[in-house]
A and B are shown apart, each in its own frame.
Chain A
Amino acid sequence: MDREELKALAQVELDQQQRFRCRILCCMSTPCISSGATAVFEALQDAIKGGQLDAEVEAVATGCMGPCSRGPLVTVKTEGEEDVIYEHVTADLAMDILDKHARKASVPSLDRVVLPRDIPFFSKQVKIVLADSGVVDPERLESYVARGGYTALANALREMTPEEVCEEISKSGIRGRGGAGYPSGLKWHMVRKAPGERKYVVANGDEGDPGAYMDRTLMESDPHRVLEGMAIAGYAVGAEQGYVYVRGEYPLAAKRLEKAIRQAERKGLLGNRILESPFNFRIDIRMGAGAFVCGEETALMQSIMGRRGQPVPRPPYPAHKGLWGGPTLINNVETFGNIAAIIGRGAEWYASYGTEKSKGTKIFALAGKVVNTGLIEVPIGITLREIVYEIGGGIPGNKAFKAAQTGGPSGGCIPADYLDVPIDYESLARLGSIMGSGGLIVMDETSCMPDVAKFFMEFCMDESCGKCGPCRGGTVQMHRILSKITDGCATMDDLKKLEELCLMVKETSLCGLGQTSPNPIYSTLRYFRAEYEAHIKDHHCPAGVCTFPRKGELTFNKVA
């Protein structure tokens, strides 16, 4: 296939779509499926067939539409009308939807499940990466191509040198979406220039942060976008082999990626001589097997090579010496999700979003004690208040906002005082948190901060690989002290010991997991120290969470 054929393919698909008077899009990503989307989709298909509407109405299985807690979600696109979104759709509503939109009947009972499209949840978002999510059928290449998919790759191959591609990425100002925010352009240039016969491109989809599911959604909802981004990267850095490392918990994402790879290979969009150019690029999927540390790039490479996912000291950096000793470009799945848009619409357009130092948009998984939970894509620089109170619709049950947790176990809690700080890499770091992969958990007054810190420390303790001493032993000891605090048998001396340990583990651990594991303690201590002291001195939990089962015991050891 060449560029002209790609255009033709898109046109055929568009013509096909226009034949339908009414297109009913059903979200078929994991949360909606869990809420019963499969039955809804099947009921719609049956109803279309039963009503002999096959020629006019189409039911499409798409990816995520955003407000996951309101699933199953269905969007109806009717010619000449505004799109309508329905929430909490059940199978028995299938016929009603058809009646209303295909047969133009009046169905007032449907009104109660209409999700208004003008609410801030939708209007405040800017969708670049998720532009096709919830619109295209992730299991059909044509669906993506019809939306302009793979044209960026075609243009890059035809019109740009690899160096120009790297430069365009640099100019866009995009920074790694995995958390640390390393400028992607720099990395691409580095890998491109690194000497090495075989180079590799790796998409990091080992989204281990609890509470984050941007990568899963992207892989499930728009797998071709990730593949296209990787192929462009492969061309730019001179790699012929790519790997998508998919977290083991995401079988559906892996399945859809696998299908997408096969489709793309068949159409000559991956494999040898892509789009009739001399560029060859293969992508393989590697499944994780349940290890958070494999999100760390050196551990991830070990895992791709089939070994224990234990990090190795850097330097050498993967960009110089990665998989099998070859220069390796590792970017987050979400970063790759941005690439086609940057190449397709230009770095300048992309850089018009975001702040001076952080360009573009960021996807957040909004969850916790907030009315609208789900997946949102917002320009970097938006305030936390806008996210929580406008997009998120505030805290349910008239409770007070206490803190927002970003960055998972490597991040921190941002208290109410900083609701108006624009969210970007630097400001979050100043507040003692990190952008992370994009989990954003809202906590209300019923969350106890030492307990939150303990929760994350338990996570880090379980996920420590055991290679370096400070992380292996330090996380256990920090968790023990936090347990003493929430159990009511800690002293102020323990708190001092905890702070010393935090600093030591942060500064001496081998990899990012250990180095950032004290962050949840740091940030909660910074903003909620009084809460810790109340636990220790008064055996009082202001949030009413801790029950102090070992109150007054002077040691960790229960008397028999």
Chain B
Amino acid sequence: MPEPTPAKKDAAKEKEHPMGDPRYKGIDRVLKRQQYQQDALIEVLTAAQEAFGYLTEESLIYIARQLKLPFSWVYGVATFYHFFSLKPQGEHSAIVCLGTACYVGKAAEIVESLEREFCVKAGQTTSDGKLTVTTTRCLGCCGLAPVVVLDNNVLGKETPETTLAKVRQALGGGNGGNGGTPS
């Protein structure tokens, strides 16, 4: 079904990918690997989120076309799962685990302190686009509760103070993570 046509981008780049953005190649790889099966929608959406950082409307339209699925179907699946975001994410991300062990360890206070300090609600990005604060339901690191994941680094046994200090450092210390261990 031909719905809104995505805007044509830079003509030179079009050679790289018909959509005018080389990042679509990542989606194409998964599409091919999954043989354009409609059942693989979630895998393809995951690839798109990895490629763009979030699910752009354009990428959703592209995926729907490639898999020959209705737009509303693709949108419905994309909004069902918490992993998919339809909004751009901040440069840095702080994910506070709200699993039971972390709850018992008062992780809610960490969320509150982040919300206060950076004037965002959990699930939102600061207005300057620097930081996204989100919560998650158990990362399975209960032995380290309360747990915060800052730019993909799992930090254990956190308190509001330690988290705030580390987030401030990450924001002040330029882009990317702080060289910690991968999770």
A304, B39: Cβ atoms closer than 8 Å: yes
Chain B residue, CB-CB nearest to A405 = B100
B144, A69: Cβ atoms closer than 8 Å: yes
B143, A69: Cβ atoms closer than 8 Å: yes
B82, A291: Cβ atoms closer than 8 Å: yes
> Does B133 make an interface contact (CB < 8 A)?
no
Q: With A and B bound together, what is the CA distance between A510 and B100 in angstroms?
A: 25
Q: A287-B46, A289-B83 are in contact. Are A34 and B101 (CB under 8 A)?
A: no
Chain A residues, Cβ within 8 Å of B145: 367-368, 373
Counting chain A CB atoms within 10 Å of each CB, which of B38, B98, B143 scores highest? B143
Chain B residue, CB-CB nearest to A251 = B183
B101, A249: Cβ atoms closer than 8 Å: no
B99 to chain A, nearest CB (A): 3
Which chain A residues in 9-54 approach chain B with CB under 8 Å? 30-31, 33-39
Which chain A residues in 55-94 approach chain B with CB under 8 Å? 67-71
| Partner-binding segment picked from A165-173, A229-237, A262-270, A306-314 | A306-314
Counting chain A CB atoms within 10 Å of each CB, which of B39, B144, B183 scores highest? B144
> Does B110 make an interface contact (CB < 8 A)?
no
B183, A249: Cβ atoms closer than 8 Å: no
B126 to chain A, nearest CB (A): 22
Which chain B residues in 79-110 approach chain A with CB under 8 Å? 80-84, 98-105
A-B contact count (CB 8 A): 155
A68, B42: Cβ atoms closer than 8 Å: no
> Does A227 make an interface contact (CB < 8 A)?
no
A211, B138: Cβ atoms closer than 8 Å: yes
Q: With A and B bound together, what is the CA distance between A68 and B103 in angstroms?
A: 18
Q: With A and B bound together, what is the CA distance between A303 and B104 in angstroms?
A: 31
> Does A469 make an interface contact (CB < 8 A)?
no
Counting chain A CB atoms within 10 Å of each CB, which of B37, B38, B43 scores highest? B43
B83, A211: Cβ atoms closer than 8 Å: no
B32 to chain A, nearest CB (A): 15
Q: A30-B154, A306-B41, A306-B77 are in contact. Are A368 and B143 (CB under 8 A)?
A: no
Contact of A367 among B40, B80, B83, B143 (CB under 8 A): B143
> Does B171 make an interface contact (CB < 8 A)?
no
Q: A67-B143, A289-B82 are in contact. Are A306 and B156 (CB under 8 A)?
A: no
Q: With A and B bound together, what is the CA distance between A443 and B147 in angstroms?
A: 18
Chain A residues, Cβ within 8 Å of B42: 286-287, 289, 303, 306
Q: Secondary structure of the A side of the interface?
A: mixed
A225 to chain B, nearest CB (A): 18
> Does B22 make an interface contact (CB < 8 A)?
no
Chain B residues, Cβ within 8 Å of A213: 138, 140-142
A244 to chain B, nearest CB (A): 13
Chain A residues, Cβ within 8 Å of B142: 68, 211, 213, 365, 367-368, 373, 439, 441
Chain B residue, CB-CB nearest to A411 = B100
Q: Secondary structure of the B side of the interface?
A: mixed
B183, A252: Cβ atoms closer than 8 Å: yes
A211, B100: Cβ atoms closer than 8 Å: yes
- Count of interface residues, chain B, beta-carbon cutoff 8 Å: 42
Chain A residue, CB-CB nearest to B149 = A34
Chain B residues, Cβ within 8 Å of A297: none
B39, A289: Cβ atoms closer than 8 Å: no
Mark each residue of chain B from 162 to 183: 1 if its CB lies under 8 Å from any CB of chain A, else 0: 0000000000000000000111
Q: With A and B bound together, what is the CA distance between A307 and B42 in angstroms?
A: 8
> Does B130 make an interface contact (CB < 8 A)?
no
A289, B45: Cβ atoms closer than 8 Å: yes
Chain B residues, Cβ within 8 Å of A279: none
Q: With A and B bound together, what is the CA distance between A445 and B173 in angstroms?
A: 41
Q: With A and B bound together, what is the CA distance between A290 and B77 in angstroms?
A: 12
Chain B residue, CB-CB nearest to A466 = B80
A308 to chain B, nearest CB (A): 4
A34, B100: Cβ atoms closer than 8 Å: no
Q: A306-B38, A309-B80, A459-B137 are in contact. Are A447 and B144 (CB under 8 A)?
A: no
Q: With A and B bound together, what is the CA distance between A248 and B95 in angstroms?
A: 14
Chain A residues, Cβ within 8 Å of B76: 308
A39, B143: Cβ atoms closer than 8 Å: no
> Does A208 make an interface contact (CB < 8 A)?
yes
Q: With A and B bound together, what is the CA distance between A303 and B41 in angstroms?
A: 9
Chain A residues, Cβ within 8 Å of B61: none
B73 to chain A, nearest CB (A): 8
A30, B141: Cβ atoms closer than 8 Å: yes
Q: With A and B bound together, what is the CA distance between A213 and B137 in angstroms?
A: 12
> Does B19 make an interface contact (CB < 8 A)?
no
B99, A211: Cβ atoms closer than 8 Å: yes
Q: With A and B bound together, what is the CA distance between A250 and B136 in angstroms?
A: 12
Which chain A residues in 430-473 approach chain B with CB under 8 Å? 439, 441, 443, 447, 455-456, 459, 462-463, 465
Chain A residue, CB-CB nearest to B139 = A249
A289, B81: Cβ atoms closer than 8 Å: yes
Mark each residue of chain B from 4 to 29: 1 if its CB lies under 8 Å from any CB of chain A, else 0: 00000000000000000000000000
A31, B156: Cβ atoms closer than 8 Å: yes
Chain B residues, Cβ within 8 Å of A367: 100-101, 104, 142-143, 145
Q: A34-B154, A286-B42, A373-B101 are in contact. Are A307 and B140 (CB under 8 A)?
A: no
> Does A305 make an interface contact (CB < 8 A)?
yes
> Does B114 make an interface contact (CB < 8 A)?
no
A34, B39: Cβ atoms closer than 8 Å: no
Contact of A36 among B38, B77, B80, B181 (CB under 8 A): B181
A39, B181: Cβ atoms closer than 8 Å: yes
A38, B40: Cβ atoms closer than 8 Å: no
Which chain A residues in 335-392 approach chain B with CB under 8 Å? 365, 367-369, 373-374
Give the 3 A-B residue pairs with the shortest CB-CB distance, closest first.
A68-B143, A213-B140, A290-B82
A-B contact pairs, 15 of them (CB 8 A): A31-B140, A37-B181, A210-B101, A210-B102, A210-B103, A249-B139, A249-B140, A287-B43, A288-B81, A290-B83, A306-B37, A306-B43, A308-B77, A368-B142, A368-B145
